[in-house]
Structure 1
Amino acid sequence: MNRKFMTLYRFSLLQKLRAKSFLISTALMIVFLIGFSNIERIIDWFAGDEPKIAVVSSLDADIVPVLKESGIKSEIDQKDYSLQEARDAVKDGTYEVVALMTSDPYVVTLISESPEQSLKTQLSTALKLVRDQKIISESNVDPAILAALAAPITTKQELTSTGGKNEDELFAASALVYVLLFLMYFTIVIYGGMIVTEIANEKSSRVMELLISAASPIQHMLAKILSIATVSIIQLSLLVGVGYYSGQKSSLFDQLSLDSLSIQTVVYLFVFFLLGYFLYATLLAALGSLVSRVEDAQQVTIPVIMLIVAAFMISIFSLNAPTNQAVVVLSFIPFFTPMLMFLRVMLTDVPMWQILLSIGLMGVSIALALFVGTKFYRGGVLFYGSNPLKQLRRILSGRQ
């Protein structure tokens, strides 16, 4: 490989890896991932200890076992307080919560210093259970009959287009695809936008003139794209590793069924992510070369960003209809392939020839984008005017 290209690549890569912004953002994202994956422990920590509870009951049945079955973990003391005594017990700190439960009518009066919404629901559920049991016994209705009436009907669904996945596996796969699509979307947007920002910064500081004098614009463009791709892979690998290790004991991660994340899924994610990144990064680098200031970058990159947003929105809306004919057709259009084909591969049984065809079309599109993009980059990288659209017209007319 060309020595000048490798020099530019190493310089750009090391510059990004040593940048304070990279180190700080990585550290913040790691802290966020650790916090998110342990959100239940954090909530329990802030929630503090279980409240001390006293129950004043005029019911015929023993309410304490029923309250325990409803999920209350605190120690429950039975007291014979009046309403005023219950208020005094909470006020002087003897108990944090006092619940008065009556049977005529069935009412729960909850006295506490602060709102106890979950406890209120548990008390209400327990009292309803006691009331229902009394109604059943007084009506001489066989409990087995009521249980039979309340039993749900078993419904089985056989899916023919999901590659052997049952309904539960399909739901887990959909949740996983939802997360991975977000990951793919944000990384392409963030790291693709980084290319435009860096080119504009190098042009505004006149560093670009020194870099271009040492290597051709084509080498500079490819080194920029590949170095940022390497940074993204390093950062994402670190974040995914930390997130997976930290979230192994979290119920939130259990719902994503990370155990079903097969090698095949990782390979497809990696392939379609890289293909999408290189396609959009090439377009963004070409358009970014037309601007001289970071403030002007948005006006030329809006079309590409809109394509990424459109691909992401279509993918999200297609989660419940991955076999739709429009989704199938759009999955072969290179701008939508990275997300839509990945969606189809994860949720349906896609023939291998379609996967290979979509990858081939992406490869051709990236080659075409590189061919056109290098012409844009060669003509725009040393352009310092304030009108990028004017420079674009000059490039297209061959007058750069």
Structure 2
Amino acid sequence: MRKFFHVFSFYFRESFLSKKSLITSGILFLVVFGIFAFNHFTSDKDKNKDKDKLAIVMDSATYIVQEEGLNKILPSAQIRIEKKEQLEKLHKQVEEGKLDGLFYVKEKNGVPEVTYMYNGFSSQETSTIIANYLKQQYTQVILSKHKVPSDVAQQLQTDISVKEEAIKDRASSFGIAYVFIFVLYMFIIAFGNTIAMNIASEKSSRVMEIMLSKVKPLYMMYAKILAVVTTALLQIAILACGVLVPVLIGWVDLDNASLFGLPIDFAKLDVKVISLFIVFFITGYLLYAMMYAAAGAVVSKTEDLQSVSFPVAILIMAAFFISIKSLSDPNSTIVVISSYVPFFTPMVTFSRVVAGEAGALEISIALSLLLATIFFLNFIASRIYVNGVMSYSDKVKFKDLAKFIKRH
């Protein structure tokens, strides 16, 4: 066991305490910290910058638009009322991108007719609000024309309020689940490739032959895997510090937090979610790390590694895309079935946990299948690793893998 810890400490120093790794860790912290710092220092300055710039031209004697009142009911935009003579000039400003939209209102048989001019993408919310604003005036004109009593007219124009009550609020869980899934995906890809590349490099440089005379092959494989997973967890902790420091300073509004437009509900970060993330991260990493270790052991040249590890990368990408689908539709057939497929379980089941759709029984079954698969892959990968690290054939075929697995 002493030899194992010596090998583990060697690989850990190489993977985390090296100059390159420490610089990477520092950059990860600064990038995350910098994103929140940028959002904090620019949010107030850019409050009006993000508003749509709109102009309204009225060509009607009957209907009147109040600029102040319209800006109140449409706070996401800066609206100004312009004269009819400015229509051509304003049209050109929309074309040049100086204005986000232009509304031209005229009458046709006493009914307001609105033309919405824009360059690029329209805003359905804005056009609907302005149309409703004019519709209220039109309703008032018709009621006055037919001499409807004022109290009746007022009742007819009463707004119907809609009270939203989410049975399961998917929007609040989307952001936090996406961030965790993306982190899991990126770290498995990055550190899995690190394992495969290191093994392939040691093998191609013949360093492996020297090391095998001192240490058992399995010690080397497990020490490398554990060293890299420890490094990955430490770097996730560094990323978490990049979020925690701005929160403690007060730069993050926990009630209205978002990242790249995705709402992040920190209330979802309870003990259950954090614990399951750590469990799924470690088990998911171990699952793919063993496959990457086997891939690195069977190649004799590092340039051959990509083609051998390609099927593993396909599995990870499939898991990522299915988990993204589960964020919006966690009960679809493909998502539910995939949550029990061990290669997809870490990402897909975790996303369903955050969405509140995975119960204790489903989590237990999925984890049991995942652990059983890890133990099975442990047997396969260890055989391939032990027999593959000393094989220097140009190309390894499937029949060669079968021989490695059968050979003791």
The two structures share one fold, judged by TM-score above 0.5: yes
1:314 equivalenced with 2:322 (yes/no) = yes
Residue aligning to 2:158: 147
1:225 positional shift: 0.1
Say if 1:380 and 1:391, in contact at 8 Å, map to a contact too: no
1:267 positional shift: 0.6
Deviations 1:120-166 (A, max 9, x none): x97x7887576444323321272432335x555x6867xxxxxxxx3
Residue aligning to 1:5: 4
1:330 positional shift: 4.3
Taking the TM superposition and a 5 Å limit, the aligned residue runs for 1:308-347 are 308-323=316-331, 327-346=335-354, 347=356
The separation in 2 between residues aligned to 1:28 and 1:209, in whole angstroms, is 36
Deviations 1:227-249 (A, max 9, x none): 10011001111112313544733
Cα gap change, 1:14 to 1:64, in 2 (>3 Å): same
1:19 positional shift: 3.6
Say if 2:104 and 2:114, in contact at 8 Å, map to a contact too: yes
The residue type paired with residue 252 of structure 1 is S
1:252 equivalenced with 2:252 (yes/no) = no
Residue aligning to 1:193: 193
Taking the TM superposition and a 5 Å limit, the aligned residue runs for 1:388-399 are 388-389=396-397, 391-392=400-401, 394-396=403-405, 398=407
Residue aligning to 1:369: 377
Normalising by the residue count of structure 2, what TM-score does the alignment of the two structures yield?
A: 0.73
Say if 1:66 and 1:126, in contact at 8 Å, map to a contact too: no
Deviations 1:281-336 (A, max 9, x none): 11210221111222111222122222222333333334455445665554344323
Residue aligning to 1:16: 15
Say if 1:290 and 1:391, in contact at 8 Å, map to a contact too: no
Cα gap change, 1:267 to 1:378, in 2 (>3 Å): same
The separation in 2 between residues aligned to 1:308 and 1:54, in whole angstroms, is 49
RMSD of Structure 2 on Structure 1 (CA)? 4.5
Cα gap change, 1:117 to 1:309, in 2 (>3 Å): closer
Say if 1:383 and 1:391, in contact at 8 Å, map to a contact too: no
The residue type paired with residue 12 of structure 1 is Y
Unaligned runs of 5+ in 1: 91-95, 158-165
Deviations 1:47-87 (A, max 9, x none): 869999999989785734225413389898x9999759x99
Residue aligning to 1:134: 137
Say if 1:185 and 1:308, in contact at 8 Å, map to a contact too: yes
Say if 2:7 and 2:220, in contact at 8 Å, map to a contact too: yes
Taking the TM superposition and a 5 Å limit, the aligned residue runs for 1:349-388 are 350-352=359-361, 354-388=362-396
1:279 positional shift: 1.4
1:258 positional shift: 1.7
1:277 positional shift: 0.8
Say if 1:225 and 1:278, in contact at 8 Å, map to a contact too: yes
Q: What SS is found at the alignment partner of 1:312? A: helix
Residue aligning to 1:207: 207
1:181 positional shift: 2.3
The residue type paired with residue 69 of structure 2 is V
The separation in 2 between residues aligned to 1:104 and 1:133, in whole angstroms, is 15
The residue type paired with residue 71 of structure 1 is P
The separation in 2 between residues aligned to 1:306 and 1:351, in whole angstroms, is 29
Say if 1:61 and 1:130, in contact at 8 Å, map to a contact too: no
The separation in 1 between residues aligned to 2:301 and 2:179, in whole angstroms, is 34
Greater mean deviation of Cα atoms: 382-391 or 294-303: 382-391
Say if 2:325 and 2:335, in contact at 8 Å, map to a contact too: no
The separation in 2 between residues aligned to 1:127 and 1:349, in whole angstroms, is 43
Normalising by the residue count of structure 1, what TM-score does the alignment of the two structures yield?
A: 0.74
Say if 2:349 and 2:358, in contact at 8 Å, map to a contact too: no
Cα gap change, 1:32 to 1:82, in 2 (>3 Å): same
The separation in 1 between residues aligned to 2:120 and 2:52, in whole angstroms, is 10
1:71 equivalenced with 2:80 (yes/no) = no
1:278 equivalenced with 2:282 (yes/no) = no
Unaligned runs of 5+ in 2: 94-98
Q: What SS is found at the alignment partner of 2:157? A: helix
Q: How many residue pairs are counted as aligned between the two chains?
A: 376
The separation in 1 between residues aligned to 2:324 and 2:265, in whole angstroms, is 19
1:188 positional shift: 1.4
Residue aligning to 2:309: 301
